[in-house]
Copies of this chain bind each other. A is one copy, B any other.
Amino acid sequence: MTPTPVTRRSLLGGLAAGGALMVGNGLTGSAPLVSAAGAGGDLPRTADVVVVGGGISGLVAARELARAGRSVVLLEARDRVGGRVLNHTLANGAVIESGGAFVGPTQDHILALAKELGVATFKEYVAGDNVFAANGHTMRYTGTIPPDLSIILDAYIMQLRIDWMSSQVPVAAPWTAPDATAWDGITAREWVRQNTFNPATGNLLLSYLQPTYGSDGEDVSLLFFLWNIACSGNETSPGTFERASGTADGAQDSRFVGGSQLIPLGLAAQLGDIVHTQAPVRRIAQDANTVTVTTDRGPVTAKRAIVAAPPSLVAAIDWDPLMPPLRQQLLQRLHLGTLMKVDAVYPTPFWRASGLSGSGIADSGAVRTCFDNSPPDASVGVLLAFVGGSTWRAWANRPLAERRNAMLQGFAQIVGPQALQPIDYVEHDWTHDRWTLGSPVASAGTGTTTAFGPQIRVPFGRVHWAGTETSTYWAGFMDGAVRAGKRSAEEVLRS
């Protein structure tokens, strides 16, 4: 299944002519996109709107503006588009992702965009049993909560409470929740401690928190956590813990054929020479009439700017004038998580023959959460582990061979000793990535959402804010990136 080629002409009829056209092959490889005009030569000196950041959010914003007839310059620091969305091609040509990958129901915006770009989805493999490894033993189970008698009641009640509490958190204004102050004064960890009998229940929750935030329960406020659960839905179907954490019908329901980076690559192909890579933004200055964005390749002056970058990178820009203190403080308090994605590749997804899904949870070790990450044709078998938060700290700084061994042991605990003999081993640690500085997403500790959260989408003069962190649904996911890109473009078009 190959994506339908799209042309810039057909989708961007309103856009002024000119610029490189990136279609066809540009959509299917995992190679960085560097358009002919994009990486070399001078930047345009002026535009109606300059967009900072070539992840999905910035690309969507740029496309909306271009479609509306505005001249747009998109500036991306890296030599590729996609931000935290990045394909990786295996030896046999199969594609997996080093960054954002999964999609699921109610993620309408990313799914519609993918469909439009001809990027198909396929269901994450869920046939067979999941495995729960705890106290040195393993048990098979189906569904979300492992049927460990010592924790199942605790976990079930915890889930009911989380859903009930998150239903009281308005996604666009979590700081107005009735108990916002109390919930923002306590960590998710402490709330779980107070509301469960068995500490193992809180430990189990890490299998959700570490992949989702790259953090443990002490790093996020209860209010932020509940808001994030509330976000895992859309305008007609409120978020639930089941959807936020689940595989089938949940946030890990499906993946993209050819890898998720086909989406930003497809957008960039449409945008052509609007996209300028290797143009890190160092300074943003505004006056009454213009905003000037200065990169290592020179300045661009526009009427408006949209900044679609992770909070820590936004804070590192030299702002003139300074951002308002409340926003500056918000950015000081939104920290990116620490997360590696680790994939072990096998000749086949051998676990399927044993009636295993490849999904598993462990209460300790290097692999706390794993998924079947095989390509849709199962041409190879791939197991994926998210290594986040305290598990990342335990393993990320050890020698590769030692970590690799621990990961394979962890996979073997879930699917058996065949996991010890991979044909390939791939890891991507986003904390080493200069233009992200962590992953998968920025989260908020205690006190931040109530005190500084209201600033999250407030424009600063001529500067508007995109990026998945600014979304009201599926913040932290690709869907949130699309939503935020559209919303920011609408703001600019209305202004």
Contact = CB atoms under 8 A, between A and B. Distances in A.
A212 to B, nearest CB: 15
A219 B446 contact: yes
A26 interface: no
Contacts of A317: 316
A352 B76 CA distance: 62
Contacts of A434: 322
Contact of A190 (B186, B329, B335, B396): B186
A438 interface: yes
B437 A218 contact: no
A216 interface: yes
A423 interface: no
Contacts of A448: 445
A404 to B, nearest CB: 19
Interface string A171-188: 000000000000011110
Contacts of A187: 185-187, 190, 446-447
Interface in A187-240: 187, 189-190, 193, 215-219, 221
A332 interface: yes
Nearest to A335: B332
Contacts of A335: 329, 332-333
A219 to B, nearest CB: 4
A9 interface: no
A97 interface: no
A11 interface: no
A336 B330 CA distance: 11
A338 interface: yes
Given A446-B445, A447-B218, A431 B316 contact: no
A434 to B, nearest CB: 6
A218 B184 contact: yes
A398 interface: no
Contacts of A445: 333, 445-448
Nearest to A185: B218
Contacts of A184: 218
A325 B219 contact: no
A400 interface: no
Given A432-B322, A451-B390, A217 B185 contact: yes
A289 interface: no
Interface in A305-348: 312, 315-318, 322, 325-326, 328-329, 332-333, 335-336, 338
Nearest to A429: B325
A397 interface: yes
A216 B338 CA distance: 27
A174 B236 CA distance: 48
A393 interface: yes
Given A216-B447, A390-B451, 5 more contacts: A187-B446, A315-B316, A325-B432, A329-B336, A332-B437
Contacts of A338: 325, 329
Contacts of A332: 312, 335-336, 437-438
Contacts of A316: 315-318
Most buried by B among A190, A315, A317: A190
Contacts of A328: 431, 437-438
11 contacts: A185-B187, A185-B193, A186-B187, A186-B189, A187-B190, A216-B447, A219-B447, A325-B432, A329-B335, A332-B336, A390-B451
Contacts of A397: 326
A294 to B, nearest CB: 12
Across the A-B interface, give the 4 residue pairs with the lowest CB-CB distance, nearest first: A325-B431, A218-B447, A445-B445, A185-B218
Interface in A469-495: none
Contacts of A282: 282, 318
